[in-house]
Structure 1
């Protein structure tokens, strides 16, 4: 289980917005510095131009899941495509890094993908976006489950 060292209670339902996340990370950096941030892990709702741009400019490594239909701009094809298209030819259980940088919401990133089937047997993808070290994306993203375990515990209290 993950143990938070810093968090902020919001006076609303749902997740934080980009400005709230940036403010929290800036506060963390002012207290601890960027050197102690190994990477940031987040699920599909934590994506956006200003957020990714902030992380990139501050050289904060991240691995964030994308929705399968999220649009990415591919320079080699000079067109925008749904991100799952880049991993459509994978076999079930196969994980791969797209070899070229793409643009997501105007920000340069790498994407990696895993093709699988969900519990209902429907085709599904785990698509991860990162700015650097995409070869480590799946290994790190698996650790995000510790956060889910923490939230489940908090909800029981």
Structure 2
């Protein structure tokens, strides 16, 4: 554990050891359920004589620890943001996504509102909050999340991408006044009158989009100017939702705005990895808010470590097909990294030794990784 002092200098040795053991168990068992994680603790800790029930109590005591609940999650969040900042800035994207993932834990609803940074077509969670309710987030909740995130990460000048539930006059004004660009999808008929006052009729813009052309118009809303863009859905006019309606405060060409909005789908991949393709976060059995917060931040740390290793192993990912200036991999960066990291989990001692060496290496993404064809 002495090797990990630089990594966790503010943590007690016992707390740090349990933290790393839980992360290793998550990698091996691909779950966050403590009842399943306990079965691998004997192997990790090198004490096969200990009963699994004792390991379960060890896990529950970790999440019951007041210091872990109050401070450990903050320390982990600050550490992971600092780690991401050290990544090779040459290939850093300036896109953010805002989206939520929901599930039910008994009678308790869980809704994680997640702000992510898109780095080479991979979403990395920067900040999140459990709204603990059904339904959409309010504008006030989104503002509070952005304000907290901006204290920890330099977001000014980034472009935020969001789906239809993340619109609102006050929300648009807040983003603009805080130096954030945005491209957000609109529900049909939203701000119809204001858009029509811009010059072209709203219905005419939609008809143009349905004919396969891109319609756009600038309009004013509460003293701010925004660009409205309408485009037919990629599945065609016969789809259940035939139009993609976007609003932005950017002066980019309308075709560029439509293309950049597609980056938002990287968040769907993130949620898939957290839920069904990696950690099965919906299986968590803890219900206390502070425990859920701690468990989620541990998952995010492990996820980011896997993504970093996936970028290091990127040259080993075989292409599915090659087109002009585009590379489509057969395997995701996360899954490639997950395989590499989980292979290092034999004992805690071996994993710490490997992890310290990896963290000391600079993460430089080769410029030849150009599959992110929509990066601005």
TM-score, normalization by structure 2: 0.36
1:22 paired residue number: 143
**Deviation for aligned residue 1:110:** 0.7
How many angstroms apart in 1 are the aligned matches of 2:252 and 2:269? 25
Where do 5+ consecutive residues of structure 2 fail to align?
1-121, 281-376
1:10 paired residue number: 131
**Deviation for aligned residue 1:16:** 1.8
Over the aligned positions, Cα root-mean-square deviation in angstroms equals 2.7
2:271 paired residue number: 151
- For residues 36-55 of structure 1, the aligned pairs below 5 Å read 37-55=157-175
- Residue pair 1:65, 1:129 contacting (<8 A) in 2 also: yes
2:261 paired residue number: 141
SS in structure 2 of the partner of residue 51 of structure 1? helix
CA change 1:76–1:141 in 2 (3 A) is closer
1:33 paired residue number: 154
Which of 216, 232, 244 is the equivalent residue of 1:126? 244
Structure 1 runs (4+) deviating above 6 angstroms are none
After TM superposition, the structure 1 stretch with the greater mean CA deviation from structure 2, 123-132 or 49-58, is 123-132
How many angstroms apart in 1 are the aligned matches of 2:187 and 2:223? 17
- Residue pair 2:126, 2:149 contacting (<8 A) in 1 also: no
How many angstroms apart in 1 are the aligned matches of 2:220 and 2:205? 13
The structure richer in helix per residue is: 2
* Greater Rg over alpha carbons, structure: 2
SS in structure 1 of the partner of residue 247 of structure 2? strand
How many angstroms apart in 1 are the aligned matches of 2:145 and 2:232? 33
CA change 1:92–1:34 in 2 (3 A) is same
How many angstroms apart in 1 are the aligned matches of 2:249 and 2:228? 9
How many angstroms apart in 2 are the aligned matches of 1:49 and 1:30? 24
CA change 1:14–1:134 in 2 (3 A) is farther
- Residue pair 2:182, 2:248 contacting (<8 A) in 1 also: yes
- Residue pair 1:110, 1:134 contacting (<8 A) in 2 also: no
- Residue pair 1:95, 1:112 contacting (<8 A) in 2 also: yes
- For residues 34-113 of structure 1, the aligned pairs below 5 Å read 34-35=155-156, 37-72=157-192, 73=194, 74-77=196-199, 83=202, 85-90=204-209, 92-98=211-217, 101-104=218-221, 107-113=224-230
The structure richer in strand per residue is: 1
2:232 paired residue number: 115
SS in structure 2 of the partner of residue 8 of structure 1? strand
- Residue pair 2:213, 2:231 contacting (<8 A) in 1 also: yes
How many angstroms apart in 2 are the aligned matches of 1:25 and 1:140? 21
Question: Number of matched residues?
Answer: 151
- Residue pair 1:68, 1:84 contacting (<8 A) in 2 also: no
TM-score, normalization by structure 1: 0.79
Residues 16-60 of structure 1: CA deviation (Å, up to 9, x unaligned): 21111101111111222333x521000001111110110111121
